[in-house]
Amino acid sequence: MRLIRVLPLLFAGLGTAPASRDRFTTAPIIVSTEQVRDWLQSWQKRLHLEDWKIEVKIARIWDLQPGTLGHIDWSESHKTAVIKVLNPVDYELPKEKVPEDVELSIVHELVHLQLSALPLNKSSRNAEEQAVTMLANALVELEHYEAPLPPCAAFNHLSH
């Protein structure tokens, strides 16, 4: 039986959180709780994690470890997980870039969960974090890449 593993999403290549931990920041909603849940549901299905009960929460900067944008706790034996992602009001990115970064944080944490069956040791922790970051980035880039089908693929599709 594996105990809950805790893996923070580090700032490697993602948006940054401000140094200030002002608890009274107010700003218009950039990403809603509903949108965060939609991303979770969509990516959970894509990553074949439907047998897990996963909850996602938007967390303020003081609720996450310093230098992180997200965090996941899970119980493999119960197949439950809780993901926390940084509240958009705590980002220092331009507003238009925040939604994709929040989605990326969710995907990043789900990739950690997908890899949770693999053995973890402190010596490979940095390598795992780099691999998870690269995989999450690639998946989100593929999702948002809208290129036309190559001519031969389009032709094959139409001819069948």
* 128: pLDDT strictly greater than 80: yes
**Cα 87 from Cα 74, distance rounded (Å):** 21
Contact assessment for residue 14 and residue 105, using Cβ atoms and an 8 Å cutoff: yes
Q: Give the alpha-carbon dihedral of 135, 75, 91, 25, to 10 degrees.
A: 170
How much is the pLDDT for 150? 56
Average pLDDT over residues 60-71: 93
Query: 35 by DSSP, 3-state: which?
Result: helix
In the numeric block, which tokens belong to residue 73? 């706790």
Confidence band (pLDDT; 50, 70, 90) for 13?
A: very low
Q: What is the CA radius of gyration of the chain?
A: 17
pTM greater than 0.85 (yes/no): no
How much is the pLDDT for 8? 47
Under DSSP, the state recorded for 16 is -
> Which CATH architecture group holds 5-159?
3-Layer(aba) Sandwich (3.40)
Q: What is the tens place of the pLDDT at every residue in 22-56?
A: 554 555 678 899 999 999 999 999 999 999 999 99
What residue ranges do the domains of the chain occupy? 5-159
